[in-house]
Every structure is written in structure tokens, then in C-alpha cells.
């Protein structure tokens, strides 16, 4: 279980951001600042079931971010908040931005791994007692997603799975979770464009995140 009085920080791209109000984000546990997705849903469950535990939850996801963008704002959006638990979901834009000819600024797998590891090392050096929660990047086979996306995201998943034991991190298997979910309903039900989850998809993610972090 996440210890009492912990500060929990959700980091990532639009899937984590999910419409959060930037102006409200400076205050922990602020509903507009938590967005409308899995981060808010997980926070709501924690805060409603543990009202006396003094938990503080922040969301600093930013739509469109790649690993290099997250690294660039490490000081302001991670270290300055001094989290006890840092949850990271990053990687889909590193692929998507390389597949879209209008952007052409994806991040190759070796660089993704190198920058991700640098980020974790520098955060651990600054905050030695922090616990990492590393979430699998994922896509579903619908919407904008093509087969070549799936192969590349699988490589990014492998990077995250390798980093998790290196940093004694919990690994949250979002892609594996969605593989099971599509046996119950088509991919579009869970993520209409193949990238951004529906309400049902976000709820599954929150449940999965909470189940894994219960082992702290």
C-alpha cells in the first residue's frame, strides 16, 4: 500500500493529461487539476477510501509529450514537487510523431531507452527514497493505429519492462490489460482512435494501476 502522507505524481502525455486544468494543478487533490482520466479516477479511489492518510496527488501530464519533452521539464514538473511516488506513462508520441509526416519528430527506440534511463537515474539521485511506477505504453488496433505502430510500441514496452527491475519499480501492464479487454468488446470501445482511451478504457487503467500499487 502507498504509505500515509505520500505525495503521488502522475506524469506523461495526453493520456495522463486528459484535459487537466493547468491553473488548478498547483493544489494537490484538486479535481480540475487531476484531469478526466485514469489519474483522476485512481486519485479519487485513493482519496475516498483513505481520507485520514494525508495523501497528496498531482497530475503533470502534458498532451503531445515524448520522453525528450518529459526529460526537459524534469526539474519544474518532477523534482520541484518532491514526490514520494512517481508514475510515468510515456512513449506513444515517440512513435506517433515519427509516423506522421507533418511532424517527423519521433524518438528512436535506442534514444527513448537512453533518455528514459537518464531521467530515472537523475530523479533517483535527487530523490533517493522515491518509488517509481512505470506504465506500459500501449495502442489498440483501430483508428490511427497501423500494424507498424504495434511492432514499435512493443519495443517500447520491452524497454519499460527492462527499466522497471533496474529501478526497483512497479510495472503496470496497460497493453496486456487492453489485450484482455478486446476479448470483451472491440478496440474502438476502449480507445476510439487507438491511442486515447474512452471513459471505460480509463476506468480499466485506473483499476489496473491501483491493483499494482497495492503491492507497495
Residues forming the active site? 14, 193, 196
| Separation of alpha carbons 125 and 145, rounded Å | 37
Residues 6+ apart with CB under 8 A from 193: 142, 143, 144, 145
DSSP reduced 3-state for 215:
coil
Helix axis angle, 38-49 relative to 199-213, nearest 10°? Answer: 50
Dihedrals phi, psi of 197, to nearest 5 degrees: -65, 150
Q: What is the CA radius of gyration of the chain?
A: 16
Amino acid at each position: 500500500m502507498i504509505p500515509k502522507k505520500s505525495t503521488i505524481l502522475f506524469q506523461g502525455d495526453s493520456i495522463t493529461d486528459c484535459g487537466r486544468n493547468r491553473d488548478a494543478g498547483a493544489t494537490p487533490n484538486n479535481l480540475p487539476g487531476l484531469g478526466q482520466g485514469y489519474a483522476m479516477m485512481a486519485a479519487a479511489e485513493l482519496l475516498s477510501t483513505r481520507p485520514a492518510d494525508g495523501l497528496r496527488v498531482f497530475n503533470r501530464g502534458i498532451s503531445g509529450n515524448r520522453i525528450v519533452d518529459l526529460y526537459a521539464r524534469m526539474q519544474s514538473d518532477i523534482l520541484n514537487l518532491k514526490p514520494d511516488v512517481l508514475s510515468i506513462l510515456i512513449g506513444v508520441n515517440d512513435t506517433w510523431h515519427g509516423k506522421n509526416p507533418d511532424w517527423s519528430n519521433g524518438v528512436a527506440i535506442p534514444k527513448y531507452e537512453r533518455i528514459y534511463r537518464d531521467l530515472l537515474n537523475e530523479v533517483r539521485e535527487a530523490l533517493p527514497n522515491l518509488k517509481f511506477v512505470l506504465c506500459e505504453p500501449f495502442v489498440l488496433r483501430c483508428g490511427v493505429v497501423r500494424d507498424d505502430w504495434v511492432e514499435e510500441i512493443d519495443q517500447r514496452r520491452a524497454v519499460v519492462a527492462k527499466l522497471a527491475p533496474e529501478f526497483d519499480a512497479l510495472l503496470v501492464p496497460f497493453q496486456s490489460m487492453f489485450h484482455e479487454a478486446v476479448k470483451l468488446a472491440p478496440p474502438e470501445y476502449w480507445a476510439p482512435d487507438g491511442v486515447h482511451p474512452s471513459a471505460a478504457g480509463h476506468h480499466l487503467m485506473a483499476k489496473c494501476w491501483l491493483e499494482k500499487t497495492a503491492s507497495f
